[in-house]
Structures are given as structure tokens and as C-alpha cells.
A and B are shown apart, each in its own frame.
Chain A
């Protein structure tokens, strides 16, 4: 079974502070990991995926297979980063189930 755990339901930081949204996963094979974001009144959208090793809107995430983690980080949070963030896992190959965590609501205070 595949599982994604986001231990923090709520995370509040001040503008300019570093932010880290935690994500741990459970999967027996080689998973593909994603972060999705839902801004207020907008559709859920892809933020980044581990295979791309990209930085989007200043966010990065590194897959740590030893710790089975895929934490999302940004060195300097902005107010516009306030949103609901979901970590998601796919088993890849013919495993077409994309499993989401319960989400973390990030609030960046001015």
C-alpha cells in the first residue's frame, strides 16, 4: 500500500522567514513524488515534481529515499505563498493511483 503523511495541518510563518512543509511517504518500490498547491479560489495545480529537480516560485523539494521524505522548502516566504499544499505519490509504471496527503495549510503573515 502507498501512503503519504503530512504531519502538520496548519503552518504559520512570517513574511521573509524560511518555510518547510513536511512530507513522508510509504511505498515499497520507487515512487514518484509531487507537490500540488491550491490557492484561494483557484484550482488545485502542480507545483513541482521530484523527477524534474526544479525550483518553482522559489520552492524546492528533495527526495530522500533513506528517510522516505519529500519536504518542501522555501528560504524566504511571501504572503502570496499562503495556500493549501498537498504532497502526492505515484508508484510509477503501471501504478496509476496518485495518493495525496491530507494537506498543510500555510499562512504567511505580513
Chain B
């Protein structure tokens, strides 16, 4: 059972480049989300989804796009990377129980934008 899988683990981009962070889960979880982790800022919610075809913004959505075409996958797209998007990104999923259930995290993707 792989749980939540994120790729790539590390990525270096130049300002203005685009890329997609991949997230897949094999637990049949309805809820999926993306967080960024920055020193002194904790974890901040970027986007989340409560099911295929349904997405919504979190606390810091600007500069990021998401889509949810399947239950398993929830990619995060950076259309034009900026140095302010240098961060560690975490994908997480959960059964949809009003989030009383456990949120399962991926290992993280470390992104550097030069």
C-alpha cells in the first residue's frame, strides 16, 4: 500500500518556467489537498478537493492551479514560477468525514525557483 505518492521529490526551476507537481493516492480518499511549508510559516493550504471535478481555494492559492479528474490524482500546476514559490510542498488526503479522520501526507516535494 503506497499511500500518498508525490513526484518529483526535488526540482529546480528558473523564474517564469512552468511545472506540475504530481500527487497520487491509492486509499480511495475523497479529500485531497496541497500545502506549502515555509520556515516560520508552518503549513499553509493552497488548494483542496472533496472529490473528482470539485476543487476549491485554500489560504494561498495565487500562482497555483489544480484539477481533479480522478479520485486518485491531484496535480498542482505552477504556470509561471516565481522565487516566492520556493518551498516544500506536501500533498495530503483523507476520507471525507468532515476531516475528523486522519490526514495522510506525502513525503514532500522541495522546489527551488531561481
A interface vs B, CB < 8 Å? 6, 9, 32, 34, 36, 43-46, 49, 51, 86, 90, 92-103
B107 engages A97 (CB within 8 Å): no
Q: Which of B25-46 contact A (CB under 8 A)?
A: 31, 33, 35, 40-45
B100 engages A43 (CB within 8 Å): no
Q: A86 with B106: in contact, given A92-B98, A92-B99, A92-B100 (CB under 8 Å)? A: no
CB-based closest 9 A-B pairs = A102-B42, A100-B43, A90-B99, A44-B105, A46-B102, A92-B98, A103-B42, A43-B105, A100-B42
Task: Give chain B residues whose Cβ lies under 8 Å from the Cβ of A90.
Answer: 98-100
User: B58 at interface (Cβ–Cβ under 8 A)?
Assistant: yes
A99 engages B40 (CB within 8 Å): no
The SS class assigned to the A binding surface is strand
Task: Give chain B residues whose Cβ lies under 8 Å from the Cβ of A93.
Answer: 98
Min Cβ gap B101→A in Å is 9
Task: Give chain B residues whose Cβ lies under 8 Å from the Cβ of A94.
Answer: 98
CA distance A90 to B102 in the complex (A): 12
For the complex with contacts A49-B102, A90-B98, 16 further pairs of A-B residues with Cβ separation under 8 Å are: A32-B100, A34-B103, A36-B103, A44-B90, A44-B92, A44-B105, A46-B103, A86-B43, A95-B99, A96-B50, A96-B98, A97-B59, A98-B45, A99-B59, A100-B45, A102-B41
Q: A96 with B59: in contact, given A32-B99, A51-B100, A103-B42 (CB under 8 Å)? A: no
Task: Give chain B residues whose Cβ lies under 8 Å from the Cβ of A45.
Answer: 105
